[in-house]
Amino acid sequence: MNIPLTDQELHNLAMNYVGKDLEQRGFEFIAVNSKLKKHPQFVCMDKNKQYYFVIVKAIMLPENPNNYDVVWMESFKKHAREKDAKVLYAGVGLGNPNHKSLPIYLNQEYLIEYNGIQVLETNLN
């Protein structure tokens, strides 16, 4: 029986990929929030004690996972500036290899498009 992944499960899958990437880059995790639509998903610190707010977004392919809501992100950047943190965005594209209209099923193969972490400038324009 094919059981489609829920939105929360897709989000958790994306977070696993991003979390491993952050770990490999040497970030220290301060807080992790895996609840869907709660931001940021990761609060990290680098070796220089700089804080980072990391936004993770699971996007269904063929949509572009590198795109994000620019208007919403501006308000989030303001929050980061107030906390002296930098903002990182990680979009993770997920899809069914058999057809773009099919969901991703539990314990079955899936497509992933992850182009890494984008650093978003928080300075005011």
85 within some domain: yes
- Dump pLDDT digits (tens) for 52-68: 999 999 999 999 999 99
* Residue 8 contacts residue 36 (beta carbons within 8 Å): yes
Sign, CA dihedral 110-113-114-120, equals negative
2 within some domain: no
* Token couple for 114: 């992850």
To 5 degrees, how large is the angle CA 113–CA 30–CA 33? 55
How many domains does one find in the chain? 1
* pLDDT surpassing 60 at residue 87: yes
In angstroms, rounded to a whole number, what is the distance separating the alpha carbons of residues 74 and 21? 25
- Burial of residue 88 (CB within 10 Å: 0-12, 13-18, 19+) is buried
Query: Which residue range forms the structural domain that includes residue 38?
Result: 7-120
> Could you tell me the pLDDT band of residue 124, with boundaries at 50, 70 and 90?
low
Mean pLDDT score, 88-117 = 96
**What CATH number does residue 16 fall under?**
3.40.1350.10
83 within some domain: yes
68 within some domain: yes
- Dump pLDDT digits (tens) for 3-50: 999 999 999 999 999 999 999 999 999 999 999 989 999 999 999 999
